[in-house]
Amino acid sequence: MIRIRCSTGDIAAIKFVVDPAWNILSSMSLFVQPSSRSLHAPLATALRNQDAPGVATLRRLTTNPAAPSLLVVPGYAYDVDNSPAAVTERLHDLVRMIPERDVQGVLEQLRTQESPYGDQEVAGLREIAQQALVDYFSGVLRPFWDRAHAIALRDLNMRAERIVREGIGGVLNDLNDQIRFDGQVLELQHEFDIDITVPPGGLVFTPVVFKGSGFIVHGPDEHDAPDMPIAIGYPAWGAATLWLQEKEEPASSSLEQLMGSTRSRILGQATVPVSTTDLAEKLHLPKPTVSGHLKVLERAGLLSQFRRGRFVYYQLSAAGIALRSS
């Protein structure tokens, strides 16, 4: 059992964030951990395809006993937007942040296995890992990435609303059955039996769409920056809906006749949180046009909005859900 002792200040400073790197690296656990394969069968099928972009390289790295030190999520990044450019930069930063001693340890292990990657130097292996991650994100995850990101955002929005109603204790005790909080001590079921206090960087929780059960924890060691938090990834609420396809409204639907094609399509997309930029890209419309429709739908009570960092997201309100279901 990992027991994390929290002061009142620690509890007040708890953060919930979305970091794309946690979801991307967690998706690769399907290489070696079958527990989530039934939940994410389409992705498991893609990962069995050695010709899929980046998969063969990442498989060789992640199935290596030393791989956790190479492809581990160091801390978290806050306020990363969901654009491919921003996610790609986060992946490059991720590999750049890996301590040289860890990369060197992986290289030594690869050499003992007579892997072709064992011929690399530290800089070369970093470049290989960076490119493989970007290829994997762009070629394998990108088709359903927007929806995965939206599910993670919806999880955070739901928990923010529950904190107001139930307090932080109610939210932490509902993350999964391996995490418990009694008001002072956060207990994580684990093979290690240790007691720790919250470091200066605090406690950070992040929803992981590709995590079927359990949790992921990353805490600072003596080599990390003093402001590194304890970061805990938990299974995102609603992850099973990732593979469900939203139905397009038929051209002659009553909803379209009521409010017009564009607004009807916006409501169809807003079953998960979406930004103005997301909608403009999906609907092939200028952002000002989409923004105008969003304001009308929000004033009508069919959409609600929330902010995450610099970005504003829209989703169906209770009235919007009722209208879509009628």
Q: pTM for the whole thing?
A: 0.78
Structure tokens at 76: 């978290």
Structure tokens at 317: 């309100």
SS3 90: helix
State the average pLDDT over residues 112-128: 86
Quick: pLDDT tens for 3-55.
999 999 999 999 998 888 888 888 887 776 655 566 787 787 777 777 888 88
With pLDDT > 70 as the criterion, what percentage of the chain qualifies? Answer: 87
SS3 194: strand
Length of the chain: 326
Mean residue pLDDT across the chain? 83
Quick: pLDDT tens for 87-99.
899 889 888 888 8
Quick: pLDDT tens for 155-197.
888 888 889 888 999 999 999 889 999 989 999 988 888 998 9
Rounded Cα gap, residues 131 and 152, in angstroms: 25
Which phi and psi (to 5°) does residue 236 adopt?
A: -70, 140
Best-predicted range by mean pLDDT (167-171, 220-224, 257-261, 305-309) = 167-171
Q: Is the pLDDT of residue 140 over 60?
A: yes
SS3 10: helix
Angle, alpha carbons 81-26-235 (nearest 5°): 85
pLDDT at 86: 87
CB distance 57 to 74 below 8 Å: no
Q: Which of 125-129, 233-237, 249-253 has the lowest mean pLDDT?
A: 249-253
Residue with tokens 């994997």: 136
CB distance 63 to 32 below 8 Å: yes
Domain ranges across the chain: 2-242, 246-325
- Chain center to CA of 208: 5
Third-level CATH fold of 246-325: Arc Repressor Mutant, subunit A (1.10.10)
Q: Which of 17-26, 66-75, 139-148, 277-286 has the lowest mean pLDDT?
A: 66-75
State the average pLDDT over residues 69-85: 71
pLDDT at 253: 64
Quick: pLDDT tens for 278-290.
888 888 899 999 9
CB distance 239 to 231 below 8 Å: no
C-alpha to C-alpha distances, 277 to 48, 147, 286, 303, nearest whole angstrom: 33, 14, 9, 16
Best-predicted range by mean pLDDT (107-111, 113-117, 129-133, 147-151) = 129-133
